[in-house]
């Protein structure tokens, strides 16, 4: 009896403790909500500071616990930024915009989309100023849209053109005895080239040079229009580093004036209708979005569904960072069953990945296309498997700086037979049948290679057929622009892989035209749910492995670690971009 009494007392005590904890959380949530309310006052300047990661789709949870646990703090959605600037155009309380940044945590296509929207904002007659102690190239590209660009007197502008570096591991494999067995189709499918040679192939060098030049030309053209300088003048500045200090940047009309931050704030006060003795009314883009300005208000019943496919493609459920066929298929089935959804826009921002998952999503898109118009909007990257998802749309929009194409496939399998031999390990196998099998401890047999090559060829042929059907091109024509080659958005338009250059807004508008609706609102998919374990993993005392590694390795070294880990986890035949592309 004593045991039962103690057990009952323990249970009751636990329930009481949980109740108290819940009540405390409720009080904190209530207080948090009250303190965090934001309002926009008269003569306010909207500040754009993109130090958070910009994602095409970054839905913020309505759960107040998520705010307390910090689950919404490290990201910001591109759509919300674009909508906020659009709303600021007609917001009487917003007098102008201040671009205040040294770095832009966004891809080049996302940056161009934000820049284009800022150009629209300028047309209202409201001011845009920009300031930084120093500008890196992407930050300057965005900031150059401003009416006036300011810099710290000892600052610099990193304006030097684009470059790409690829590491090769052939000798490393030979020395360590650890190698990757490679089967590929596509002379440009250079994802696996670093494992096969120590030098860059001419085909790979040509494609990198081609798309870098195309993207650079877009950047130069945009800056040229805002800074009243010819592309030739800007290229001369880049060639000779003629913005490497503030004095040269002024002389070459890259910036307008060298001032300190307090002087810049005075300029913002005057431009917003205040005196230098007044307080500066400034609101961050995050806070402005939190007031509801990250959405375009609409009472329309008809909807255009925007389904976001962002991240590498994996076989499985997927989440906010990875495309899994389960979430995308579920979203497509939901929009087909909705009476209000009149068209679908698939927003693709992916370097590709699992060929199987890509095919499964393609099939669901094919079913959806029979009932609803489908338009694709390409983000920073829509290549390889990302293009697989895109190719069957009624129309494809790409940003000029989008990386796309890479129609090719490959398979990589680790092999440590040489290392095993060197350190005295011998593996013996026993099998019931003669079918081709593989062991990482044994050299790849000819029989296994033949079977794997057949699989790669089959996937590549299917890929060509999907593109041929979707783009209404014959197989030979598709093959001529495929072979794993990567294109910029401008190049892809010229070779017929996309239909039009434009942003997500353009794609949504076109989808509405196809559906013959004029009054509509946008509904975003998929819906992501985070379980309790994931929520508490973000608490300071339960740090995620990712945060620990970033703290220990630093951002740049962590990216290298991610690259190595990504290679080691690749499974099955891949339709994947040749390498990780970062443009600064």
283 burial (CB, 10 Å; 0-12 / 13-18 / 19+) is buried
Cis bond before residue 265 (omega within 30° of 0): no
CA distances in angstroms from 166 to 183, 198, 200, 351, 516, listed in the order given = 20, 10, 8, 17, 47
Beta strand spans in 253-362 (E): 257-258, 282-284, 303-310, 312-314, 322-324, 341-350, 352-354
Q: How far is residue 396's CA from residue 484's CA, in Å, rounded to a whole number?
A: 19
Is the Cα dihedral 498, 499, 501, 507 positive or negative? negative
Is the Cα dihedral 353, 356, 362, 364 positive or negative? negative
Q: Nearest-CA neighbor of 512 among 375, 397, 376? A: 375
CA-based radius of gyration for the chain? 27
Residue 214, both tokens: 């195309």
* Cβ count within 10 A of residue 250: 16
Q: Which of 189, 267, 303, 342 is catalytic?
A: 189
Q: How far is residue 360's CA from residue 330's CA, in Å, rounded to a whole number?
A: 12
Active-site residue, 274 included: no
Residue 425, both tokens: 């390990």
Residue 90, both tokens: 């007609």
Is the Cα dihedral 294, 296, 299, 304 positive or negative? negative
Q: How far is residue 432's CA from residue 427's CA, in Å, rounded to a whole number?
A: 17
Residue 122, both tokens: 């300028």
Residue 291 DSSP symbol:
I
Q: How far is residue 338's CA from residue 322's CA, in Å, rounded to a whole number?
A: 25
Q: How far is residue 63's CA from residue 71's CA, in Å, rounded to a whole number?
A: 10
Sorted by sequence, the CB contacts under 8 Å of residue 387 that are 6+ apart come out as: 352, 404, 405, 406, 407, 467, 497
What is the three-class DSSP state of 198? coil
Q: Which of 214, 358, 384, 417 is catalytic?
A: 384
Residue 36, both tokens: 């965090």
Q: How far is residue 324's CA from residue 328's CA, in Å, rounded to a whole number?
A: 7
Q: How far is residue 573's CA from residue 452's CA, in Å, rounded to a whole number?
A: 9
Active-site residue, 384 included: yes
Q: Mind spelling out the 3-state secondary structure of 361-382? A: HHHHHHHHHCCCCEEEEEEEEE
Q: Pairing mode, if any, of strands 75-77 and 374-383? A: unpaired
102 burial (CB, 10 Å; 0-12 / 13-18 / 19+) is middle
Q: How far is residue 561's CA from residue 546's CA, in Å, rounded to a whole number?
A: 11
Q: How far is residue 152's CA from residue 258's CA, in Å, rounded to a whole number?
A: 5
The residues carrying an active-site annotation are 189, 384
């Amino acid at each position: 009896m004593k045991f039962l009494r103690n057990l009952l007392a323990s249970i009751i005590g636990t329930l009481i403790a949980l109740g108290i904890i819940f009540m405390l959380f409720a009080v904190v949530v209530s207080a948090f909500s009250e303190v965090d309310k934001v309002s926009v006052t008269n003569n306010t300047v909207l500040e754009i500071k993109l130090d958070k990661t910009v994602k095409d789709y970054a839905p913020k949870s309505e759960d107040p616990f998520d705010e307390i646990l910090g689950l919404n703090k490290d990201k910001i959605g591109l759509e919300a930024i674009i909508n906020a600037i659009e709303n600021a155009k007609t917001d009487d309380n917003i007098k102008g915009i201040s671009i205040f940044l040294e770095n832009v945590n966004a891809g080049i296509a996302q940056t161009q989309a934000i820049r284009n929207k800022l150009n629209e904002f300028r047309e209202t007659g409201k001011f845009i100023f920009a300031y930084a102690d120093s500008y890196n190239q992407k930050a300057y590209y965005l900031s150059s849209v401003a009416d006036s660009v300011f810099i710290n007197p000892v600052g610099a502008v990193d304006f030097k053109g684009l470059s790409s570096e690829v590491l090769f591991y052939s000798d490393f494999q030979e020395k360590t005895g650890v190698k990757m067995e490679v089967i590929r189709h596509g002379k440009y499918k250079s994802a696996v080239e670093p494992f096969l040679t120590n030098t860059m192939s001419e085909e790979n060098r040509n494609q990198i040079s081609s798309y870098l030049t195309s993207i650079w030309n877009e950047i130069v053209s945009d800056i040229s229009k805002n800074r009243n300088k010819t592309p030739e003048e800007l290229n001369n500045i880049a060639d000779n580093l003629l913005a490497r200090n503030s004095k040269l940047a002024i002389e070459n009309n890259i910036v307008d004036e060298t001032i300190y931050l307090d002087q810049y704030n005075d300029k913002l006060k005057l431009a917003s209708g205040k005196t230098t003795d007044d307080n500066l009314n400034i609101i961050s883009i995050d806070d402005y979005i939190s007031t509801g300005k990250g959405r375009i208000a609409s009472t329309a019943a008809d909807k255009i569904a925007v389904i976001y496919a962002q991240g590498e493609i994996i076989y499985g459920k997927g989440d906010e960072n990875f495309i899994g066929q389960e979430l995308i298929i579920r979203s497509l089935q939901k929009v087909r069953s909705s009476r209000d959804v009149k068209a679908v826009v698939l927003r693709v921002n992916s370097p590709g990945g699992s060929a199987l998952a890509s095919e499964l999503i393609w099939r669901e898109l094919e079913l959806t296309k029979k009932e609803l118009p489908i338009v694709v909007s390409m983000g920073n990257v829509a290549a390889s498997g990302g293009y697989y998802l895109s190719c069957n749309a009624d129309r494809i929009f790409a940003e000029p700086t989008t990386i796309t194409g890479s129609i090719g496939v490959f398979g990589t399998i680790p092999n440590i037979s040489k290392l095993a031999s060197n350190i005295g390990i011998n593996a013996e196998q026993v099998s019931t049948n003669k079918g081709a099998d593989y062991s990482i401890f044994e050299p790849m047999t000819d029989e296994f290679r033949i079977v794997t090559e057949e699989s790669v060829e089959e996937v590549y042929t299917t890929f060509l057929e999907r593109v041929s059907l979707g783009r209404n091109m014959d197989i030979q024509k598709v093959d001529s622009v495929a072979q794993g080659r990567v294109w910029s958005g401008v190049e892809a338009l010229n070779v017929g892989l996309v239909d039009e250059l434009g942003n997500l807004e353009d794609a949504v508008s076109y989808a509405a035209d196809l559906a013959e609706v004029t009054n509509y609102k946008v509904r975003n998919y998929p819906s992501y749910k985070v379980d309790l374990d994931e929520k508490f993993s973000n608490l300071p005392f339960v740090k995620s492995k990712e945060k620990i590694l970033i703290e220990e390795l630093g951002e740049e070294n962590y990216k290298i670690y991610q690259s190595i880990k990504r290679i080691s986890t690749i499974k099955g035949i891949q339709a994947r971009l040749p390498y990780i592309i970062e443009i600064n």
